[in-house]
Each structure stands twice: as structure tokens, then as C-alpha cells.
Amino acid sequence: MVIMEKIIIYSSACQDCDRVKNYLRDRDIPFEEIDVSKDKKARKEMEQRYGVHVTPVVVVGDHVMVGFNHIKLDKLLSVE
């Protein structure tokens, strides 16, 4: 499987954040993590750009998913 889009995860210390990161790691899918609990500027950017105040926010190219749902994530990644 080749993922062409960059994957960014805005995260904090939450179970769904851990689930999405583990899901991607288990599939050897690279991602960039931005911990908004430690980076106030990144939290503000996430809130302004995506209009959400919760994590995780998963960005795949131009697509955004809030929370963790492996079916939706598979679709974003074009994984069958």
C-alpha cells in the first residue's frame, strides 16, 4: 500500500488519539503528530482551521476526520 497524501494527526492524551496512531503504526503508515496539549499555537491553528476543539483531528491531504473511525479512515486512505 502506498499512501500519497501527507497525514497529520492533531492529538492530545486521549484514547482515540492513541487508537488512531496505533492503527496507522500497525499498518506502517507514516504520519506527523502535532500534540496540541503541548503546543498552544498548534491548538489555536487546529481550532481556527478545522472549527473543532477536540482531538484527534486526522488530516489526509484535503480531507479531515474528527475522532477515530477505522472505516472512515480506511476510506480516506483508499484502503480496501
Within 10 Å of residue 5's Cβ, how many Cβ atoms? 13
pLDDT per residue as tens digits for the range 8-31: 999 999 999 999 999 999 999 999
pLDDT per residue as tens digits for the range 32-78: 999 999 999 999 999 999 999 999 999 998 899 999 999 999 988 88
Per-residue pLDDT at 3: 58
Query: What is the set of domains in the chain, with CATH numbers?
Result: 7-29+40-77 (3.40.30.10)
pTM: 0.88
**Strand (E) positions, the chain?**
7-11, 32-35, 57-60, 63-66
Task: State the Cα–Cα distance between residues 77 and 42, nearest whole angstrom.
Answer: 24
